[in-house]
Structure 1
Amino acid sequence: MKNLLFLFLLLIPFTSFSQIQKNNQSPLTIGQIMQEPGKWVGSLPENIYWGEQGEKIYFDWNPEQDTLSSLYRYSLKDEKIEKVLLDEKKNLPGRRGSYNDGETRKVYTRNGNLFLYDVKKTTERQLTNWLENAYSPDFALDESHISFMKNNNLFLLNLETGVIEQVTNFVQGEEKPDSENKGQAKWLENQQKELFDVLNEREAENKAQENRREEEEIETPEKIYLGKSRLADATLSPSGDYVIYSTYDRPENSKSTGVAHFITEDGYTREQDARPKVGSPETRATIGIYDVENNKTIEVQTSAIPGLKDLPDFLSDYPDQIPEDTADIKEREFNLVGSQWHDEKNLAVVVALSLDNKDRWIMLLDPENGEMELLDRQRDEAWIAGPGIGGYSISAGEMGWMPDGKSVWFHSEESGYSHLYSVNIETKEKKALTSGKFEVSNASISNDKKHFYFTANKVHPGVKHFYKIPVEGGELTQITSMEGHNEVSLSPDEKLLAIRYSYANQPWELYLQKNKAGAEAERITHSTTEEFERYDWRVPEFITFEAEDGAEIHARLYRPENPGNNGPAVIFVHGAGYLQNAHKWWSSYSREYQFHNFLVDNGYTVLDIDYRGSAGYGRDWRTGIYRHMGGKDLSDHVDGAKMLVEKYDVSPEKIGIYGGSYGGFITLMAMFTEPEVFAAGAALRSVTDWAHYNHGYTSNILNTPVDDSLAYVRSSPIYFADGLQGALLMCHGMVDDNVQFQDIVRLSQRLIELGKENWELAVYPVEPHGFRDPSSWTDEYKRIFKLFEETLKE
């Protein structure tokens, strides 16, 4: 590849795709693998939920391969699957809604109207009939009323009388002060009153009438002016005396990036506004209190939030940024989110999240005076995140009130893994409800308030089972038994489990099981196509190997049946950073999994690593990339390559690497900084400079460019492009609004100025971050295969 690539154009390949395809030793073709998954693999059941009586399971499915999926139901009585007809679908109780305490009634919305469903009688009662849009319905005031939101205000509907009362009066914009005449205008007004008695008489009459109207009028809720903020939600206290309302404010001075669409319906280029870049002003969220009885607002007092002046450890690298006098240290900004009322008392729990991502405070709020008390503080010098915790400054995470009403439960990584904790609101005593070297997610309390149900990877980091424990903690009971991933939906009476299950080489299917440990699960659906099933899809070897720092790394290994001596190998790098792929269930990278089978058929060994920063392995693994992306996450891949050479007879000169998004970023860092390890790399939709990525993800890991420029320089491939030696393929969608096309354009210009010749860029004019069109997927992966064939095989 001797010719320089002209920006935005493709380097004409010396070997055609058709010639490469002739060398294919697999019964598969890349064109097959890159089809729409629903047409090739099969339509897999999704969005599973139970009917109100627990007699039917509903799910989205498309076995007939229509244009769109449809709603299907499985009848436990008839043991049959049928498509739900449109008329029946329109009359189904709303999937989302709220139950009363005994779960005998449910309130929900349909087409903006309120409906009340009697679970035992299976009858529905329509409560409103309007063209407006009600949302967020719930039972209130001992279930005598329904609270709901409409037109950005909270309302109450009396179930006995049908009367609807407006509780709040939120107003967008600022309060307009009464205009005050001054100067010349005031002088003229006074002159008129001095000269003409009739004006004074009429003014007095108007004032008297206004006073009488005010005396006779029913008191209306005080106007609460939101300014430029937007209302997120408003919830009523158990007594009805207080409302907690949440607002958010998107900064106006945050400059957005743009995405240009060149292939459009009308033939004109269209510009699309996209996200801001890291370091831009952030969305702010806060809460307020409205005292219904006294018709006034109460300010939330935040003085009890500790540590607002605590400086992050990374500032030790920037001593000039640390004030000499502690009095000059500014308090850190934070968001208030996630308020949840006590079931009976006028108390709420809220979460405060620092904008620098390093603190999470769980606070008890007294709405009577707006004062807060600290229940728990979680601090991480890297960043707060983890299953059930959130990870962004507007995500409160999973939490709630314990059945005793005296404690609050929540997730914390205090032990190094995300586990359940409770804290007593009076004594502030904290208790670990679960513990061990595994992670807990999707926690909820059972109907009888005696148990927690949750998902955990206790038996293996790559296996997820459904568990229960006593609500106050104790021994875990594993309920599911199929190895892989068990996504569970409990029946209304909690006697049965609807399980969406998959294994490494078996796509997702729907199963039914009794809610009993060791019970056998019965398969309900058969979704895969005959064409897909003709190929014997491999179960990869689930291996571990040791990193240079002694850490144990989990990986998937794919090997040919008769691998040759000093054979070629490809390492795949999953994207998203905080994601898991060396697991034992059907991968979200299903096309890549199939491509790995294709590569193995053609003589390649394939390794897929859960590198540092991946999900499923606890806090230390999650934060192993803090302030240096392209550090341990890349060295884990280098160690994987060495392991392939030492243990699996792979040639050290025939190792390639590829991946998309974060995987593309690692591929670039590998090709630029470890050229002696990787002979070829395919970087897809790659981040090339983290200073140009979004704020929510990037600031967690690297802080901001202004505050921590060292982290950005050592983590961004564009600074290391001079190290390129091997063959590099880059592929990027031109309408990518996540990792934007500008990223790859800037790197291309850098490579041109460096005089690098051994690279090529394939651009896809109509593709966003995740490709949509099978022809684009096919073109991209043919190029990847061609790259490896030309560079890794003799």
Structure 2
Amino acid sequence: MKTKITIAIAAALMTVACAGSEPLSQGSAHANTPSSQGLASETITTTSARQVNTEAPITMTQIMADPDWLGRSPESAYWSWDGRHVLFDRKREGSPQRDRFIRALTEGGNGAVVALSELHQHAYANGVFNADRSLKAYIFERNIFVLSTDTGSVMQLTRDSANKSDVQFLADGRLSYRSGNDFYAVNLANGFTEQLASLQMQDAPKPVKDPADILMQEEIDLIEYNRVQRRIQLERHEDQERLQQENPSLAPKPIYLGRNQQIAEVSLSPAGDRMIVALTEPQTWRGDSDLMPRYVTETGRIENQDVRRRVADAKPVHHTLWLIDIATGEKTELSYASLPGWDEDVLRSVREENYAARGDTYVSERKARAIGVMPRWSAPEGNIIWNQDGSAVALMLRAWDNKDRWIATVDLEGARLNSQHRLHDEAWINRDFNAFNWLPNSQQLWFLSEESNYSHLYVRDVARGTTRQVTSGRYLVDEVTLNHAADTFYFQANKEHPGIFEIYRVPVAGGQVERLTHLEGITSYVLSPDESRLLLTHSSALQPPELYVQTTEPGATVTRLTETVTDEFLAMPWPAPEIVPVPSSHVDDPIYSRVYLPDNFDPNRAEAYPAVVFIHGAGYLQNAHAGWSNYFREFMFHSKLTQQGYVVLDLDFRGSAGYGRDWRTAVYRQMGTPEVEDLVDVVAWMGEHRNVDVERVGTYGGSYGGFLTFMALFNEPGLFKAGAALRPVTDWAHYNTGYTSNILNLPQDDMIAYRRSSPIYFAEGLEDALLISAPMVDANVFFQDSVRLVQRLIELEKENFETAIFPVEDHGFVQPSSWLDQYRRIYKLFEDNLK
């Protein structure tokens, strides 16, 4: 039995219903019950409270037009310094450029564009605070500004064209920053600026020494000019050394890091006395990268573009860690040998299997693995983090094979890494959920980890060597904010349903998790400066993102701030999808899917419905959720299909985001196998539960979705009568390193996984209609992928396929005419084969 429950959102124009045994109100105690992820009885049905013209035709031309006609939603929202305004970006109409908007909480409308002459006064979203939070420093257009959080006044510290980064307040109140490989500190009281350190990527100059050989000695003894020049050189060197030592007005001597190295990461201590530097060999694309020809150019001539290297050409990247004493310039290498597993042969079983397949025997040995600092884009709090006074530092490290992630502190006196946490994964460490930081004025670190299958909060007591778990359950914790008092964590989580993300909080000491928002879609947040309110970016399945505000009290009233969606879009008859947990025949957890039904759907109609299954891209991405989809064109296309009598299903196959580590890594070494098994299950479910004719089902998808379209058509002929593969991967050995090597290892280590996972090896299985849609200047999935597969299909003498090329498009299409042409072809494919 299913009971629909509707939660009203004030002024939001939308409502959401979810299935359960009893009505769920905002004050219900059910809000704090364990997550229902994995319960196949739970279904969400999105509904609309607005008036729409249900007879209005949805046209392909409108769907694929410039998306400005939908509206231009707020992006990257943040609070003003005093919490009285919100600021956000909006796409400029008819242009890819963004404008900055500001809106007072007490005013209506969507705010006003910030004048270009005033942008520098409002660019503090990612700024850093001093110890008492009275000042906030930030960079705008390469220059440094300081905002007073007492008065709102802004002081400009620099006005030049040099790039600057790594702004931070030092423990003594000065402000430091990096320009190139030089580090400076500014005394805000008097403006005095000094260079703290200059890192030079070259060998230290050699001092004047004794003659190098007998010929040099003879020349000095024989020629007076040489003797005089040598004496002058020695005197000049000695004078400069004494001046450097005795005159405090001079900049410190450079710190020489050696040739043929580049800085991967560097971090200055808040005490200003030490640095940690990660060095690596120079990384260049040229030499083992590819060239991509462009045929449509302004010059009328073919132009070549450098593009990424392939995973088959990948070389390990290793960082050498150095602890540097700034005063003396002394460098001490931080060895990885203290990290558990630093020299393990983590691919032993994989290599043994591949060697045996070649008739060889693999001999395992322990040797140092390539290890480095976690990339900054994967560690939102930072990857080298000092405590407030610079007396302690923690680093997040990862193995290049991505089977291990470590959080390590540094014994600053002993120059030694001390492992505080090791996260090992036989598959791969997630690119998400790597936030960590110090708890202020303590020897404790908080961090996120997937070790319990789901991302959760942990606190590590460095002094005691103990770790405790703060949150637990079948849900994901992300977007963590620690309050000023350091006693409460705020975070985003999908605690009540895997497709609904709300805002929660929990005491740092542990205890009850409080649900703060009840918007029933996808909601992210920014805590206000005084920590009394939440700035929310919220969307639902039929409502693009808008801004809201509420207090931090659980279940508080929500006020909507923006209305940027057009009346034209709101008036269209978009069907509200169900979110259905489709039972899996292979694993215990269900396959969550969005299901779109035609108007006046009749489950008992004599003639069963044709259907289309959409396969999302990226692999690790969630699309069967209750929020606005990034696949908004596909959502509108699905709406058109329902008007034409199709049932449409959009699934989160195994490998998708949002469902924990085990669901994510199910595709390890077998991309395309569990996902196609899930496709088989959802097609069977549609036939049994949504009156679908399983002999008239088509599929399509882009990128990873295009890859899976191939795998389904080649390995399960007859499952789909037609499929469209857009910008598709056909051979994973030709894709990039960062994505592919995590899931399939390297081709030289695991060719079994590549052959098992690449459609080009299964092309002989094609029996059903296939459309290949290939952009020609795709720098992500190369056009060559499609070309090689077409040649393979020709050699196999396959007949039922066609190829559409798009000469000016990259991986993400831009031109409305290209979108329109592509989807007209997909629509025709379905009409010709499924009707």
TM-score, normalised relative to structure 2: 0.87
Q: CA RMSD in A?
A: 2.3
- Match for residue 548 of structure 1 among 574, 585, 595: 585
Residue 621 (str. 1) matches residue 630 (str. 2):
no
Q: Distance in 2 between matches of 1:222 and 1:247?
A: 17
Higher mean C-alpha deviation, range 448-457 or range 758-767? 448-457
Partner SS state of residue 782, structure 1: helix
Q: Which residue of 2 aligns with 1:383?
A: 428
1:257 alignment partner AA: D
In the TM superposition, residue 459 of structure 1 has moved relative to its aligned partner by: 0.5
Counterpart of 2:13 in structure 1 is none
1:604 aligns with 646
For the residues of structure 2 that align with 1:199 and 1:221, how far apart are their CA atoms? 29
Distance across 2 between alignment mates of 1:70 and 1:214: 53
Cα distance in 1, alignment partners of residues 362 and 480 from structure 2? 45
CA distance in 1, matches of 2:327, 2:224: 44
User: 1:289 corresponds to which residue?
Assistant: 323
Question: How many Å apart are 1:206 and its aligned residue?
Answer: 4.6
Using the alignment, how far apart are the partners of 2:159 and 2:597 within structure 1?
A: 63
Match of 1:261 among 263, 276, 294: 294
TM-score, normalised via structure 1 length = 0.91
Mapped partners of 1:323, 1:242: distance in 2: 48
1:783 is displaced (CA, Å) by 0.4
Identify if the C-alpha distance between structure 1 residues 168 and 652 changes in structure 2 by more than 3 Å, giving closer, same or farther.
same
Answer yes or no: is the 8 Å Cα contact 1:48–1:58 preserved in 2: yes
2:437 to 381, 400, 414: 400
Deviations 1:728-763 (A, max 9, x none): 001010000101100000000000000001000000
Aligned to 1:244: 276
Of residues 598-607 and 222-231 in structure 1, the stretch that sits farther from structure 2 once superposed is 222-231
User: Does the C-alpha gap of structure 1 residues 67 and 417 become closer, same or farther in structure 2, counting only changes over 3 Å?
Assistant: closer
Q: Does 1:231 align with 2:263?
A: yes
Cα deviations across residues 471-507 of structure 1 (Å, max 9, x unaligned)?
A: 1221111111111011112211121221111111111
CA contact (8 A) 2:492 2:501 kept: yes
Q: 1:213 to 1:176 in 2, by over 3 A?
A: closer
Distance in structure 1 (CA, Å) of the matches to 2:323 and 2:306:
35
In structure 1, what residue type is equivalent to 2:634? E
CA distance in 1, matches of 2:657, 2:515: 22
* Corresponding residue number in structure 2 for 1:113: 143
CA–CA distance in structure 2, aligned partners of residues 599 and 152 of structure 1: 56
CA shift at 1:163, angstroms? 2.3
**Partners of 1:243 and 1:195 in 2: how far apart?**
48
Give the direction of change, closer, same or farther, for the CA distance of 1:190–1:142 in structure 2 (3 Å limit).
closer
- Name structure 2 gaps, 5 residues minimum: 1-54, 375-382
SS of 1:217's partner is helix
- Whether the 8 Å CA contact 1:173–1:226 is kept in 2: the answer is yes
Q: Is the 8 A contact 1:386 1:619 kept in 2?
A: no
Identity of counterpart residues, as a percentage? Answer: 38
**3-state DSSP of counterpart to 2:747:** coil
1:780 aligns with 2:780: no
TM-superposition CA deviations, 1:414-458 (whole Å, max 9, x none): 111111111111222111111000001111201221111110000
1:245 deviates by 2.4
CA distance in 2, matches of 1:353, 1:366: 19
Relative distance call for 1:158 and 1:654 in structure 2 (3 A) is same
One-letter amino acid of the counterpart of residue 58, structure 1 = L
Matched residue, 2:310: 277
Question: CA 1:633–1:163 in 2, change beyond 3 Å: closer, same or farther?
Answer: same
Instruction: Check conservation: 2:265, 2:373, Cα contact below 8 A.
Output: no
Q: Is the 1:658–1:683 Cα contact (8 Å) retained in structure 2?
A: yes
- CA distance in 2: counterparts of 1:479 and 1:697, whole angstroms: 35
**Residue 715 to residue 200, structure 1, CA distance change in 2 (3 Å):** closer
1:410 offset after TM fit, Å? 1.0
Q: Secondary structure at the match of 1:624?
A: helix
Q: Map of 1:19-418 to 2, 5 A cutoff? A: 27-38=57-68, 40-62=69-91, 68-80=97-109, 81-143=111-173, 145-175=174-204, 188-196=215-223, 199-200=226-227, 203-204=230-231, 206-218=233-245, 220-252=252-284, 255-279=288-312, 280-307=314-341, 308-312=343-347, 313-318=349-354, 328-337=365-374, 338-385=383-430, 387-388=432-433, 397-418=434-455
- For 1:519, which of 556, 565, 587 is the aligned residue? 556
Q: Name the CA shift for 1:243/1:28 in 2 (closer, same or farther; >3 Å).
A: same
SS of match in other structure, 1:643: helix
1:755 aligns with 2:797: yes
Q: What is the rounded CA distance, in whole Å, between the counterparts of 2:120 and 2:225 in structure 1? A: 66
Q: Answer whether contact 2:774 2:783 (CA < 8 A) is retained.
A: yes
> Is the CA contact (8 Å cut-off) linking 1:251 and 1:282 kept in structure 2?
no
In structure 1, stretches of 5+ residues that fail to align are 1-24, 389-396
Q: Distance in 1 between matches of 2:819 and 2:707?
A: 19
Name 2:601's counterpart in structure 1: 562
2:7 paired residue number? none
> Which shows bigger deviation, 737-746 or 123-132?
123-132
Q: Give the aligned residue type for 1:438.
A: Y
Which stretch of the first structure deviates more once superposed, 504-513 or 173-182?
A: 173-182
User: Secondary structure in 2 aligned to 1:653?
Assistant: strand
**Residue of structure 2 equivalent to 1:429:** 466
Instruction: Tell me the alpha carbon deviations over residues 603-657 of structure 1, each in whole angstroms, 9 at most, x when there is no partner.
Output: 1111111100000000110001110011111110111111111222221210111
Matches within 5 A, 1:3-18: none
Check conservation: 1:42, 1:63, Cα contact below 8 A. Answer: no
Secondary structure class of the residue paired with 2:419: strand
115-124 vs 191-200, which moves further: 191-200
Which letter does structure 2 place at the counterpart of 1:734? M
Q: Are the structure 2 counterparts of residues 62 and 744 from structure 1 closer, same or farther at C-alpha, using a change threshold of 3 Å?
A: closer
Shift of 1:404: 4.9
| 8 Å Cα contact 1:571/1:608 also seen in 2 | yes
Show the counterpart of 2:477: 440
Q: Answer yes or no: is the 8 Å Cα contact 1:687–1:693 preserved in 2.
A: yes
Alpha-carbon deviation of 1:188?
A: 5.0
SS state at 1:775 partner: helix
Give the C-alpha shift of residue 357 in structure 1. Answer: 1.1
Residues 59-109 of structure 1 deviation map (CA, whole Å, 9 limit, x = unaligned): 122586667442211112334522222223244353332111222111123
| SS of corresponding position for 2:753 | helix
- One-letter code aligned to 2:104: S
Alpha-carbon distance between aligned partners in 1 of 2:507 and 2:682, rounded to the nearest angstrom: 42
Could you say which residue in structure 1 is the equivalent of 2:706? 664
Count of residue pairs brought into register by the alignment: 756
CA pair 193-520 structure 1, distance change in 2 beyond 3 A: closer
Aligned partners of 1:732, 1:155: CA distance in 2, in Å? 50
Offset at 1:282? 4.2
User: In the alignment, is residue 678 of structure 1 matched against residue 720 of structure 2?
Assistant: yes
Q: Residue 205 and residue 709 in structure 1: after superposition, are their counterparts in 2 closer, same or farther (change >3 A)?
A: closer
